Structure 1
């Protein structure tokens, strides 16, 4: 129980809880371990949980009609990840969630999240602020994807995700940038040979 309570303090760093609140919050989270390569959910699955990443690396990706993967999000330690469209709208997943590096996650169901908000309102404010920052980051990513060259998108990726680049396969990065593996190799060669 002590470890779970310290994990709650880590997840909601900056918030103060009573001992009773800490026990309550820790009871809502479920610790889960996943091995590299595990698909936690696939498109068309029901998505009831969002996941706090304690350690590891994950990605959400969309599979196009042609079978091409489009990476939407990477997730690392201290990030939240799920198919947020499905999670918030109580609809079926449109993406897949894959474990790229062995991971320890803490899952929180939608119903438990609502219970948490009603019992401890400061958590709702905390999550709202995280979601605002995430929405702004997604909006920036869309603008970058629409307006920058492949090379500039890669440089922006390095600025934003330099701490996880080495954990990812080339095709993960290429699919995130919307380019081919060959284009990514060419861009890297150009950058590192100049």
Structure 2
């Protein structure tokens, strides 16, 4: 499998493409590598791209006016990452995206994505399904945040992010769960005693 076909198959699993479609995809996705600690996007930046994560781990977070961090999303292998609010509304970023593990990403601009939709309609269907699933996942997360105890949220987190939790700092996990690091330590201790 050549590099061009690899990119198309890696990003768009279960879709088949003609050689011409593969060339279009290859021309529009740009491979980028980032080291741990790099900032991919800062709050206030113009957001004109989204990223497919081939390898690595990222997190998006918001810092409120008092300087408190709130982790919104973790992204790892085979996930998509951006400040989607800004990306879809042509506004400035409200999130910062940090690289937590060295990462290999494929970037596509909004303009190129729209071009891809027009040229290869099945790609638009692919992204629509991804967005529907992401919307459902965010809705579930909001409901869990409103209705579950911190312990229940932590157990769900562990089950969802088994493969990456070792690379996360305690304050990343705590800010994702909406609790303090002290509460996280207490929950872990209680669960280990059971």
Is the TM value for this pair above 0.5? yes
Instruction: Give the match for residue 98 of structure 2.
Output: 98
TM-score by length of 1: 0.98
Instruction: Give the match for residue 34 of structure 1.
Output: 34
Of 101-110 and 3-12, deviating more is 3-12
CA deviations on 1:80-121 (whole Å, 9 max, x unpaired) are: 000000001010000001000000000000000000000000
1:3: how far off?
1.8
Q: Whole-Å Cα distance in 2 between the matches of residues 99 and 5 of structure 1?
A: 27
Instruction: Give the match for residue 69 of structure 1.
Output: 69
1:19: how far off?
0.7
Root-mean-square deviation (CA, aligned residues, Å) is 1.0
1:4: how far off?
3.6
Q: Whole-Å Cα distance in 1 between the matches of residues 144 and 64 of structure 2?
A: 21
Equivalent residue of 1:101, what SS? Answer: strand
Q: Whole-Å Cα distance in 1 between the matches of residues 190 and 22 of structure 2?
A: 52
Q: Whole-Å Cα distance in 2 between the matches of residues 190 and 53 of structure 1?
A: 35
Equivalent residue of 1:33, what SS? Answer: strand
Equivalence map 1:27-176=2 (5 Å): 27-176=27-176
Q: Whole-Å Cα distance in 2 between the matches of residues 140 and 47 of structure 1?
A: 26
1:158: how far off?
1.2
Q: Whole-Å Cα distance in 1 between the matches of residues 2 and 83 of structure 2?
A: 30
Question: Is 1:193 the equivalent of 2:186?
Answer: no
Q: Whole-Å Cα distance in 2 between the matches of residues 31 and 19 of structure 1?
A: 20
1:164: how far off?
1.3
Q: Whole-Å Cα distance in 1 between the matches of residues 5 and 94 of structure 2?
A: 33
Q: Whole-Å Cα distance in 1 between the matches of residues 67 and 102 of structure 2?
A: 25
- Structure 1, unmatched stretches of 5+, are none
Aligned length: 194
Equivalent residue of 1:93, what SS? Answer: coil
4+ residue runs of structure 1 moved beyond 2 angstroms?
Answer: none
